[in-house]
Amino acid sequence: MTMRCDTAAPADGSILSLLNGIIAITEEMIGTLEEGSYEEMERLTALRQECIDRLQTGHTPAAGAPPADAAEIRRVIEQLNGITARLTDRMEDQSSSLMSAIHAMQHKRYYGNEQRGRE
């Protein structure tokens, strides 16, 4: 599925639409990370950053977009913070697993070479 910043909500360009899009992308990033698809992860990371950039540059909603409700925006931002924390945890887990695997391979190579030297 090809995602855009605003696919999680009506594509009216509203702040809530962009925030919900970031949440949807972040959720997809978690699944992609677990699958080990690094190319897709790069694409999603770039897409997520594009959405964040649109928010930070004072993105103007499309004509006719509903006004943003501050309470709803706070709720969605809290949801985004939670899903971002989950993504960070998963990325740290992946990094830790990768470092353990690298260390094990180095250990095996070092002691394997040392063992062959004794023979």
What are the pLDDT digits (tens) for 17-70? 788 888 888 888 888 887 877 888 888 888 888 888 877 776 666 666 666 677
pLDDT given for residue 114 in this prediction: 65
For residue 1, what pLDDT band results from cuts at 50, 70 and 90? very low
Amino acid symbol at 117: G
Q: Are 48 and 22 in contact (CB under 8 A)?
A: yes
For residue 9, what pLDDT band results from cuts at 50, 70 and 90? very low
Q: Which of 4, 84, 82, 98 is nearest to 44 (CA)?
A: 4
- Give 34: exposed, middle or buried? Use CB within 10 Å, 0-12, 13-18, 19+: exposed
Domain ranges of the chain: 15-118
Please state the pTM of the whole predicted model: 0.61
